[in-house]
């Protein structure tokens, strides 16, 4: 028993997961939706979306999608992963191939257009506005809009979560990147080496903020999944000499 506790101590000290009973996120059932595409063949027009990931070429690539507001859920769906396949249209490729995309943007409503004639992302429509490279893996681009089947799937990420720090000496803004498992985050706390846990507020997309003076302290984070409500702790993610504008990684992640 003492040996097990010692192992757990070293695991936590090295930045591991405090909650050791996390269940793996399970894929959902297939559901119906529609999909369109935006941007060009390079996918560059899909960068810097509403989730705040910045340059997706540094992480998520071009297999991404903007979600209608029904799916976007005020940004709490950012980072979620979906399998999508075209079905029931002559534009679908043979065999109904599947592409896995990450939610990185919002497809906003267009109230000037009818929901069935151009206002594809108007509530209550479930819609994916996919990057052109991703859409082109399931259907011919010329189709414009196609019916699809979709389902949530676990996000497979390499390595642990990453934390991009912004703000100033009185305000810490953290972007949570490379989240595995459910892919999403709904709650976050930060702890300096000289403070107790401070609950952060949701700023927008994948960013959370704390109005505290945390300079000169190593930083640890607690992260809660929006879907599963599981919480993990990443200890000593940023060293005492951390700096605004840098991104710090950890081995900690959801599965």
Residue 218, phi then psi, degrees to nearest 5: -70, 150
Query: How many CB atoms within 10 Å of residue 205?
Result: 24
Position 48 pLDDT exceeds 80: no
Query: Quick one: pLDDT at residue 155?
Result: 96
SS3 224: strand
pLDDT grade for 44, boundaries at 50, 70 and 90 = low
- Give buried/exposed letters for 222-231 (b at 16+ CB in 10 A, else e): bbbbbbbebb
Query: Quick one: pLDDT at residue 47?
Result: 62
Take residue 34 and report the two structure tokens written for it: 């529609």
Q: What is the DSSP letter of 117?
A: T
DSSP-based helix, strand, coil % in the chain, nearest 5: 15, 35, 50
CA distances from 168 to 126, 194, 211, 242, 244 (A): 38, 18, 10, 12, 7
Q: What is the DSSP letter of 78?
A: T
Query: What percent of the chain shows pLDDT beyond 90?
Result: 80
Query: Quick one: pLDDT at residue 255?
Result: 87
- What does the DSSP assignment read for 93-121? PTT--EEEEEEEEEE---TTS-TTTT-TT
Q: Within 40-131, where are the H helices? A: 69-72
For the segment 127-178, what is each residue's pLDDT rounded down to a tens digit? 999 999 999 999 999 999 999 999 999 999 999 999 999 999 899 999 999 9
Q: Which helix (H) or strand (E) holds 3?
A: helix 2-13
Q: Across the strands, what pairs with 83?
A: 100, 151
C-alpha 25: how far from its chain's center?
14
Could you give the CA distance from residue 222 to residue 231 in angstroms, rounded to a whole number? Answer: 7
* CA nearest neighbour of 177 among 211, 205, 217: 205
**Residue pointed to by tokens 């757990």:** 8
pLDDT grade for 236, boundaries at 50, 70 and 90 = very high
For the segment 111-121, what is each residue's pLDDT rounded down to a tens digit? 999 999 999 99
Give, in degrees to the nearest 5, the angle at Cα 142 between 136 and 147: 70
Could you give the CA distance from residue 44 to residue 141 in angstroms, rounded to a whole number? Answer: 17
Mean pLDDT, rounded, of the chain: 88
Position 2 pLDDT exceeds 60: no
Take residue 223 and report the two structure tokens written for it: 């992260």
């Amino acid at each position: 028993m003492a040996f097990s506790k010692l192992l757990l101590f070293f695991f936590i000290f090295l930045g591991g997961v405090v909650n050791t009973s996390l269940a793996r996120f399970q894929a959902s059932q297939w559901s119906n939706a529609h999909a369109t595409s935006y941007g060009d063949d390079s996918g560059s027009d899909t960068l810097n979306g509403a989730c705040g990931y910045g340059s997706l070429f540094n992480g998520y690539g071009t297999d991404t999608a903007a979600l209608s507001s029904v799916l976007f859920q005020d940004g709490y769906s950012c980072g979620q992963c979906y399998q999508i396949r075209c079905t029931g249209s002559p534009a679908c490729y043979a065999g109904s191939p599947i592409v896995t995309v990450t939610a990185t943007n919002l497809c906003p409503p267009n109230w000037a257009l009818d929901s069935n004639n151009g206002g594809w992302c108007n509530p209550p429509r479930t819609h994916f506005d996919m990057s052109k490279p991703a859409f082109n893996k399931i259907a011919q681009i010329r189709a414009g809009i196609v019916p699809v089947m979709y389902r949530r799937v676990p996000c497979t990420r390499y390595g642990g979560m990453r934390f991009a720090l912004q703000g100033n000496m009185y305000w810490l803004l953290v972007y949570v990147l490379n989240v595995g498992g459910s892919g999403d985050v709904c709650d976050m706390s930060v702890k300096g080496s000289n403070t107790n846990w401070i609950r952060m507020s949701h700023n927008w997309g994948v960013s959370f903020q704390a109005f505290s003076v945390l300079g000169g302290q190593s930083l640890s984070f607690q992260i809660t999944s929006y879907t599963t409500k599981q919480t993990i702790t990443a200890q000593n993610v940023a060293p005492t000499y951390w700096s605004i504008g840098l991104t710090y990684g950890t081995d900690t992640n959801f599965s």
